[in-house]
Amino acid sequence: MIAVYGVFALAATARAGFQIATKFGEAPLAYLLSAVAAVVYIVATVSLARPGARAYRISVIAVTTELVGVVAVGLLSVFDAQAFPSETVWSAFGRGYGFVPLILPVLGLLWLRRNQPGRSPRDGRS
């Protein structure tokens, strides 16, 4: 899970950096949203890789933010395509990335639930 988030952190950061540096004036909202996605993926990657309850809470917040973001941006980009003249990482629910941005936070939240600090792997309780 951490490796997948790491790949998405690198991809989203590279995409946003390139878009902002070379053509920001064409679609500033889309490119800023790509940058937001990159930050969310970076935070998720780092927090997922760290042990402890605080890192766990940050991971839950980051992955939940990702899910809300991909659904919100996905809906907006489908229903108001003119607002997104260029795609973001989360446009059309992550279509440009094979819909992985839509599936990843769901899998991430399930993974976090199974790997909650203090949870016994045998019986599923603390």
Structure-model confidence comparison of residues 122 and 70, the more confident one:
70
pLDDT average, residue stretch 2-26: 94
CB distance 105 to 63 below 8 Å: yes
Residue with tokens 């395509």: 81
Query: Cα(119)–Cα(24) distance, rounded to whole angstroms?
Result: 46
Band of residue 126 on the pLDDT scale cut at 50, 70, 90 = very low
Q: Quote the strand ranges of the chain, DSSP E.
A: none
Nearest one of 9, 85, 1 to 42, comparing CA atoms: 9
Decide if pLDDT at 120 tops 70: no
In the prediction, which pLDDT does 125 show?
46
Query: Cα(103)–Cα(101) distance, rounded to whole angstroms?
Result: 6
- pLDDT digits 0-9 by tens, 55-100: 999 999 999 999 999 999 999 999 988 888 888 888 899 988 899 9
